[in-house]
Chains A and B, each alone.
Chain A
Amino acid sequence: MFCVIEVSELTKRYGPKTAVDELSFTVRPGRVTGFLGPNGAGKTTTLRILLGLVRPTAGTATVLGRPFRDRPRGLRDVGALLDAGDVHGGRTARGHLRFLARGNGLPRGRVEEVLDEVGLTDAAGRRIAGYSLRMRQRLGIAAALLGDPPVLVFDEPLNGLDPEGVWWVRGLFRRLADEGRTVFVSSHLMSEMENTADDLVVIGRGALVAAEPLAAFAARAAAPVVTVRTPEPEALGALLTAEGASVERGGTTGPEQEANELSVAGLSVTELSVSGLSEARIAEVALRHGLLILQLTPRTPSLEAAFRELTADHVEHRTTPLAPPPAADSHHPGGPA
C-alpha cells in the first residue's frame, strides 16, 4: 500500500536522553491519522524531524518518498501547523500569509481564499499580537492550507479551542481526508482523537506502542469486559476459560460483608473479570452447570482509559492519584493483549 509518510527506525537523542527511540510507522492518504502519546512522549520531536527542523540521530523520515528537506517548496507538498505561536506578532494575518505564499510562488488570491476558509477575513488586517489563541490556531491552519498540499501535519491543533472550534476543526480534517489528502494530527488526549481519527499511531517514551485503525485499537484495547461475582470462582472460571474467555480473578469478600438476604449463609464471594464472552453466554454457562452468580455487569472501558493503560509505563512524570480512580479504570481487561 502507498504510504505518504514513512518513519523508519527513527531515533533522536539529546545527550543521555532519548526523545525518539527506533520509531517506525507509516501514514496513509485519505485518512485522518491520530498521533497519540502522553506529554513528553516525543510527538513534537518526531514531527519536527519529519518536517526537517531537527536532524535525527539515526533512521529516516520521508514525506511522499523523500526527506522533507529535499522539497524546496514546502507549502505545496506539506501544510503544517506546529505551534500557533510561531508567528511574528507585529505582522497582520494577511501580511504573514502573503510572504509565505510569495516564497512558494503562490498567487496572492490564495491568501484571501484561506483567510475566508478559516473565517479570519474580517480580522486579517489586524496585527497578530492582538489575536486570541483560537484566532492564532485558525491562522496557523490557514497557513497550512495555503499551498493546497496533499499532506497536512498538525501538532496539538485542538489545544485551547472552544467546543465550537473543535467541532469545526474535526469537520475540516474529515473533509481534507475525504479529498484524498493525508492528515496527520498529534494529541495527548485520546478523547480528542476518538471522534476525529481513522488510524492511530500511539507512542510512549519515544517508542511505538500501537499503530492500527482506531476501530481495531478499540476492539483490542477497549474490549468489553464483564464483571461476575460468584461464590464458586474456580469452577466458573475453568468453565468460562474452556469457552474461550480470558478470566482474571479479583478480590474476595468474606461472608460477614455479604448481604444477609442470601439463603446460603457463610459464603465468600469472588469477583471475576471476564473478557471474550458476552454476559448472556456467561449466564448460560453458569445456569447449565448450576453455579450461583450474584452479579453480572458488562463494562466497556473508555478508549481514554485503554490509552492511558497502554502508555502508563511510558509516562515521563506520573503523579500519584489523590483519590481512587473512577470505576471504569478499576475494571481493566488486564492490560494490553
Chain B
Amino acid sequence: MSTVTDRRSDPHPRDIDPRPTHPRFTDLLAAEWLKLWSLRSTPWTLGLVLAGVVAFNAAMAWDTYRYWTYDDPGEAERYISDGIPFHEAFNANAALCFMLAVAAVGAVTVVGEYGTGLIRTTFVAVPARRSLLGAKVLVVSAVTTVLGGCAALGSFLLTQAILSGRGVGVSLGHPGAWRVVLASALIAPVCALFGMAVGVILRHTATTLALTFGVLVVLPPAFSEERHWSAVVNHAQPFMAWNRLTDVPYEPAAHPWSTAGAWSVYAVWALVAAAVTVLVPHRRDR
C-alpha cells in the first residue's frame, strides 16, 4: 500500500538529494490547465459566455433582418459602405458584456484561490510563485483567446449569414473584416488579464469584481474626446480601443488616432496586467 521509501540509511538527504531543483515550466502549465478544468463551473461558464455573446449579436442582426424596410439596392450598398454590418458582427453592448464576463473569469481564477485558502496549498506545493503565476497567466490567456476567437468568429459568421438574407451581409474577405474579428477576439485575454491583476492586488472576490467592472465600464464615458488630455485617457481604455478597431470605416474625430495606437492599448494593458499578476504575489505574505 505504502510506497514510501526507507530513509533510515540516509540521514543526510541534503548531501545526496538527486532530485531536480528547478521546476519544469511545462509541469506548471499542465497543473494550471488541470486546475482550471477540474472545476465543473469552468466549462459551464465559458460555454454560457460564448453562447450568450453569439446569441446577443445574432439577435441584433435578426432584428435588422426582421424590420428591414429599405427596398432600394442603393440603401443596402450604403449600409455596407458605412460599415454597419461590422457593427452588427459584434455590437458594442455585446462587447461590453463580453468584456465583463471574461474579466470576471480571469479574476475568479485568482480570487477563487485566495478566497478559499487554496492559495496556501498551492504556494506550499510550488514555492516558485513567479513561475506558478506565469503559468497561470499563460493558461488563462490561451483559454480566453480561444474563447474570444470562437465568440468573434461565430458572431461574425452567424450575423452576416442572417444579414445576407437582406443582401447586407459581408464575408471575411471584406476589407477590415479580419480586423473586426481579431479585435473582438483579443479583447477577451486583455480583460481576463486585467481581472487577474486586480485579483492578485485585492485578493477578495466582491471588491475585485467591483473595481474590475468599474474600470472597464465607467472610465471610458467619464473622459470625453473633446479635450486633448481627456481624449488620450479615453483612448487608453480597452473598450475605446476595441471601438476604434471595429470602426470600419473610421471617421476622424477632434483628436483622431490610429489603429496601431489602439492595438498598442491592448498590448500595454495585457503586458502590465500580466506583469502585476506574476510579480505582486511574490512580494506578499500568505
Chain B 25-41 residues near chain A, CB threshold 8 A:
27-28, 30-32, 34-35, 38-41
Q: Is B174 an interface residue (CB 8 A)?
A: no
Question: Which residues of chain B are within 8 angstroms of A64 by Cβ–Cβ distance?
Answer: 13-14, 17
Question: Which residues of chain A are within 8 angstroms of B35 by Cβ–Cβ distance?
Answer: 99
Contact with B along A90-112 (1 / 0, CB 8 A): 11100110111011110000100
Cβ–Cβ contact A88 & B125, under 8 A:
no
Cβ–Cβ contact B34 & A87, under 8 A:
no
The CA of A102 and the CA of B32, in the complex, are separated in Å by 9
Cβ–Cβ contact A53 & B38, under 8 A:
no
Question: Which residues of chain B are within 8 angstroms of A65 by Cβ–Cβ distance?
Answer: 14
Q: Is A306 an interface residue (CB 8 A)?
A: no
Q: Which of B126-134, B144-152, B210-218, B246-254 participates in binding chain A?
A: B126-134
Q: Is B225 an interface residue (CB 8 A)?
A: no
Cβ–Cβ contact A78 & B124, under 8 A:
yes
Question: Which residues of chain A are within 8 angstroms of B227 by Cβ–Cβ distance?
Answer: none
Cβ–Cβ contact A86 & B4, under 8 A:
no
Q: Is A113 an interface residue (CB 8 A)?
A: yes
Listed residue (A48, A70, A73) with the most chain B CB atoms within 10 angstroms of its CB: A73
Cβ–Cβ contact B6 & A179, under 8 A:
yes
- How many A-B contacts if CB must be within 8 Å? 154
Question: Which residues of chain B are within 8 angstroms of A51 by Cβ–Cβ distance?
Answer: 123-124, 127
Cβ–Cβ contact B40 & A90, under 8 A:
yes
How many chain B residues have a CB neighbour from A under 8 Å?
Answer: 51
Question: Which residues of chain A are within 8 angstroms of B30 by Cβ–Cβ distance?
Answer: 102-103
Cβ–Cβ contact A69 & B127, under 8 A:
yes
Cβ 8 A contact of B38, one of A69, A85, A99, A103: A99
Q: Which of A142-150, A239-247, A258-266 participates in binding chain B?
A: A142-150
A-side residues, CB < 8 A to B, are 2, 4, 29-30, 48, 51-55, 64-65, 68-78, 80, 82-83, 85-92, 95-96, 98-100, 102-105, 110, 113, 116-117, 127, 143, 145, 148, 150, 175-176, 178-181
Can you name 20 A-B pairs with beta carbons within 8 Å? A2-B11, A29-B7, A54-B285, A64-B14, A72-B22, A74-B123, A86-B118, A86-B120, A90-B39, A90-B40, A96-B38, A102-B30, A103-B30, A104-B126, A105-B20, A105-B23, A113-B2, A117-B1, A178-B8, A180-B6
B-side residues, CB < 8 A to A, are 1-14, 17, 19-24, 27-28, 30-32, 34-35, 38-41, 112-113, 116-128, 131-132, 285-286
Closest 7 CB pairs of A and B: A180-B7, A103-B31, A95-B38, A86-B117, A72-B23, A72-B128, A99-B34
